[in-house]
Amino acid sequence: MTELWDYPKYGCPFKRGGVYYYFYNSGLQNQSVLYCKETIDGEAKVFLDPNALSEEGNISLRGYAFSEDGRSFAYGLSESGSDWVTIHFKTTGADTKDLPDTLKQVKFTSMDWTHDHKGIFYNRYPKTSDKSDGTETDLNLNQKLYYHLLGTDQDEDILCCEFIDNPKWMIGAEVSDCGRYVVLTIRQGCDPVNKLYYCDLHTLKDGITDGSLIKELPLDIGSIVGFSGKKKQTE
């Protein structure tokens, strides 16, 4: 079986900020490596290699998001298969570097940038245990949606949404293609909940503030499976 699995594996390339990216696994690497190229036929360079983050190779990439201009990169890392994620940030381009921002207590998270490239929406849970390695048995309740402004401490993050009366709800947040709206979809466990919330970012004169994403869109339909905003031009 090992011999059959030992062959090069390429992910489909995609373009962000004028740069091409793709995942590649040489065969038996524990984690696929994210490479970048300035041109489709150019020299490939390692952009993010999870295998280099631990000797055991047990740190994996669990979600990522490029800013709209492609100059900043947010990515989640988990250890030993845990659902708990720590979000890190780095810049792209020739002078790529790791940034000090670190977001913890993250689980089942969204990860989407506002189109001004200043920060991301993400989800985290209140701290209920000293363990976050996947061995804890606490029930995950009261997930909250936060906005992190790049270059600030996590303690300063803005609480955008929580549902105290529905502690099992999990919040999905996505910025529309036009960048004007943030749309929140709700689920409980694996089941979608027929609730849809939104925020028109253009109406926030003081920027994103605590509790500013609480506007319910009245619905009388079945399950929400997705939404679309104004279509953006592809590169």
pLDDT in tens, 197-232: 888 888 776 677 666 666 665 544 444 445 555 555
In DSSP notation, 87-109 reads EEEEE-STT--EEEEEEEEEEEE
Note if the pTM is more than 0.75: yes
In sequence order, which residues have a C-beta less than 8 Å from that of residue 218 and are 6 or more positions away?
A: none
In DSSP notation, 48-59 reads E-GGGG-TT--E
Determine the average pLDDT of the residues in 145-153. Answer: 95
Tokens of 24: 């590649």
pLDDT in tens, 5-19: 999 999 999 999 999
Per-residue pLDDT at 227: 53
Domain extent listing, the chain: 1-53, 100-131+141-220
pLDDT in tens, 103-124: 999 999 999 999 999 999 999 9
Q: In what order do the strands lie in the sheet with 181-188?
A: 169-175, 181-188, 191-200
CA 47/CA 36 separation, integer angstroms? 6
Per-residue pLDDT at 94: 83
CA 31/CA 77 separation, integer angstroms? 12
H helices of the chain, in order, are 2-5
Tokens of 16: 């962000």
Query: Regarding beta strands 119-124 and 14-16, do their DSSP bridges make them parallel or antiparallel, or are they unpaired?
Result: unpaired
